[in-house]
Amino acid sequence: MNSDAPLTEDGLRHGAEALATMDPDLAPLLARFGVPPMWPREPGFATLVQIILEQQVSLKAAKTMFERLEQALRGVTPASVLGAGEDGLKTQGLTRQKARYCYELAHRVAEGELPLDRLHQWSEPEGRKALLAVPGLGPWSVDVYYLMALRRPDVWPQGDLALAVALQEVKGLEAPPTRDQQKRLSDPWSPWRAVAARLLWVHYLAARGDYAGSGR
């Protein structure tokens, strides 16, 4: 499996079946829920803004904020964000910090410092370095972008709280695993760690009555 090639629906199914074979704790998830959703996102600026909004808040709250921003700006683009300015972003419910992050991202994309349309052509280390240089884009944000927008099959989102809780429940741990513990648990799932994350997200949502088999 080429870890730089985008995950396809066939690859998602194959990866889920391989994980169920290699890990008896994941097999019941596939048996109960079937192949997890792809949960794809369109690569580009708007998705990165949405990921910034998702930091430290619920997905539902972030989605509401993004939709409000999209409506107010008539589209979330570098030009519309720069036009609104940080103060304009804050009037749509963004915190001062997130407004600054989104504005700085828009500036770098508009100035050509971060060519998002070519990111998929770069090696993953090069792409990650470019994204991590943007204020507000940390390892979790970059991992989620690579997993959902670029659909890389072997990405594990560092520090994802839902995955930590899901791992605790599925693995029968006494507490949610730390980042180092998550790495040790997820490394054996390579080259399908992004598929394992999707299986565990399904478990997390279903256990809380929030899984309908579609959007996350």
pLDDT digits (tens, 9 = 90+) for 15-32: 999 999 999 999 999 999
Is 135 part of any domain?
yes
Residues 118 and 189 in one domain: no
Determine the angle formed by the axes of helices 161-171 and 179-186, rounding to 10 degrees: 60
pLDDT of residue 212: 77
Residues 81 and 138 in one domain: yes
Residues 138 and 159 in one domain: no
Q: Round the average pLDDT of the chain to a whole number and report it.
A: 94
Give the structural domain span for 26.
9-39+155-207
Q: Report in angstroms the alpha-carbon separations of 75 from 12, 88, 164, 210, 215.
A: 31, 14, 34, 28, 21
pLDDT of residue 15: 98
pLDDT of residue 215: 47
Is 57 part of any domain?
yes
Is 165 part of any domain?
yes
Residues 106 and 183 in one domain: no
pTM of the complete model: 0.93
Is 126 part of any domain?
yes
pLDDT digits (tens, 9 = 90+) for 117-150: 999 889 999 999 999 999 999 999 999 999 999 9
Is 3 part of any domain?
no
- Taking alpha carbons only, the member of 39, 32, 31 closest to residue 12 is 39
Q: Provide the CATH number for the domain around residue 172.
A: 1.10.1670.40
What percent of the chain has a predicted confidence (pLDDT) above 90? 88
| Per-residue confidence band for 5, with pLDDT thresholds at 50, 70 and 90 | confident
Q: Mean per-residue pLDDT for 156-171?
A: 96
> What are the residue ranges of helices labelled H in the chain?
9-22, 27-33, 45-54, 59-73, 78-90, 96-110, 124-132, 139-144, 161-171, 179-186, 193-207
Residues 197 and 123 in one domain: no
Terminal-residue alpha carbon distance, the chain: 26
Residues 141 and 123 in one domain: yes
Q: Mean per-residue pLDDT for 37-52?
A: 96
pLDDT of residue 213: 67
pLDDT digits (tens, 9 = 90+) for 59-104: 889 999 999 999 999 999 999 999 999 999 999 999 999 999 999 9
How many domains does the chain contain in total? Answer: 2
Q: Provide the CATH number for the domain around residue 141.
A: 1.10.340.30
